[in-house]
Structures are given as C-alpha cells and as structure tokens.
Structure 1
Amino acid sequence: MSARLATGALVNALVRRAGSAGGFATVLAKGDATAGAVLIVAQDRGENPRLLERGIGPTGDVELIAVGPDGDAQAIADYWSRRRRNDPDLWVVELDIAQAERFAAETMLGD
C-alpha cells in the first residue's frame, strides 16, 4: 500500500503545473487539506466545461470519472455548490488547459 499525497499538496501541484504548462488553474473552493475529495471543472480556453472527480472506476482502479452536468457553466456551478453544501471538505478546482482530462490524470493519478 502506498501513501497518498495530502489533498492540499495535490491541488497545489495541479495549479502550479498548469501554470508552468501555459494553462490556468484556480481553486474555487478549499476543502480539507488532508483528505478532501477534488472536483475539477475542466475546460479548454473557456469552452466545453465538464466535471471530473477522482474515484474508483469500474475496474477497481483510481481514475478520473465524469460527474454531473457538462457544457453549461451555470448548471456546473449549481452542481458543485450543492456538493459543497453537503461536503464542506470538497475541493473545487477550475482547470483551463488543452486536454484537461489527460493533464489532470497525469497530475492527480500518477504514482
């Protein structure tokens, strides 16, 4: 069993790495620094917003899973706001970079 990186450090790495790669990432809501879940609002140049969350996939492996609505910025904001009301430990990160899903997976799932 491998130790898991604290969520705050993982989010910080995602934000810094996005900036270094010419993209943009910002924390929309801070959650528990040690073990909070992370919800990513992924988009490319402000277009095609969609939600991703680290979770257990159908094969039992940790992966990024599409959740909630996609394509409608207001519906996405409403979704994560509701989630935060029920889970104040949830982090919400906006990630705007080419191939956001791949980029987030490389950063958040790499061992």
Structure 2
Amino acid sequence: MTRLPAHLEVSGLIRLVESQGGTAMVLAKGERDAGTILIVTMCRGEDVRLFERMPQMDGTRPFLATKSQDPQKPEEFSEYLDRRRRQDPDIWIVEVDIANAERFVELLPR
C-alpha cells in the first residue's frame, strides 16, 4: 500500500483536530516524505499520552498509546521525546489538545 507523505498526513491530522474543536501544533518537523509521526495527546493540558504507529499482523498500522506522562514528573515525558528526536531526526512530533483523545486517535487512518 502506498503511504501518504508525512507532511501531508500531518497537515490532514491538524485539520481533523481543528474540525473536532481541538488544537494542534507541530513540536518537531521531520523528514518531509517518509518521517515517522508521533502524536502527543492531552485534554486541556492534562492526561498527556504518546501515540505511535505500530504495525500489526493484519498489515494495518494503528496509532497505539506507548507512553503516559507522570503528573508528578512531567520532565521525564519531555526528556523521552527529546531522546526520541535525537535518535531519529526524521521524526515528526505533533501535539494535540482535544477532548476524548483516544476516540480521536481511533478515527485516524490505519
């Protein structure tokens, strides 16, 4: 299956967030066509989680929650994102503030 270029997927993601009443911001801009996309979700700045695409046995690539921010140690979440960015400079990180983030992520193409 042909993959949509990363910059177009991020653009569509931002439009979808805004159409659902949320806000989105690109924290890290990666490789234009083939960069990996990470989504940091929250609702009014709380319940911060990281979603990443995970290939499945059936060939789909859904976004799955891979990390949650500890409210007592928010710096650990930021440090984790910084480490990921250093390991893979092609990565895109998009921050999304939207109600019911898990439901929103389920709307995304697989």
TM over 0.5: yes
Say if 2:78 is the partner of 1:77: yes
SS of the equivalent of 2:62 reads: strand
TM-score of the pair, normalised by structure 1: 0.85
Aligned mates of 2:32, 2:57 — CA distance in 1: 27
Indicate the percent of aligned positions where both proteins have the same amino acid.
43
Cα distance change, pair 76–57 in 1 and its aligned pair in 2 (3 A): farther
Match of 1:29 in 2: 28
Aligned mates of 1:69, 1:29 — CA distance in 2: 19
Aligned mates of 1:58, 1:45 — CA distance in 2: 35
Q: What is the letter of the counterpart of residue 13 of structure 1?
A: G
**Offset at residue 58 of structure 1 (A):** 6.1
Provide the aligned C-alpha RMSD in A.
1.8
- Structure 1: which 5+ residue stretches go unaligned? none
**Offset at residue 71 of structure 1 (A):** 3.5
- Structure 2: which 5+ residue stretches go unaligned? none
**Offset at residue 61 of structure 1 (A):** 2.9
Cα distance change, pair 81–108 in 1 and its aligned pair in 2 (3 A): farther
Match of 1:101 in 2: 102
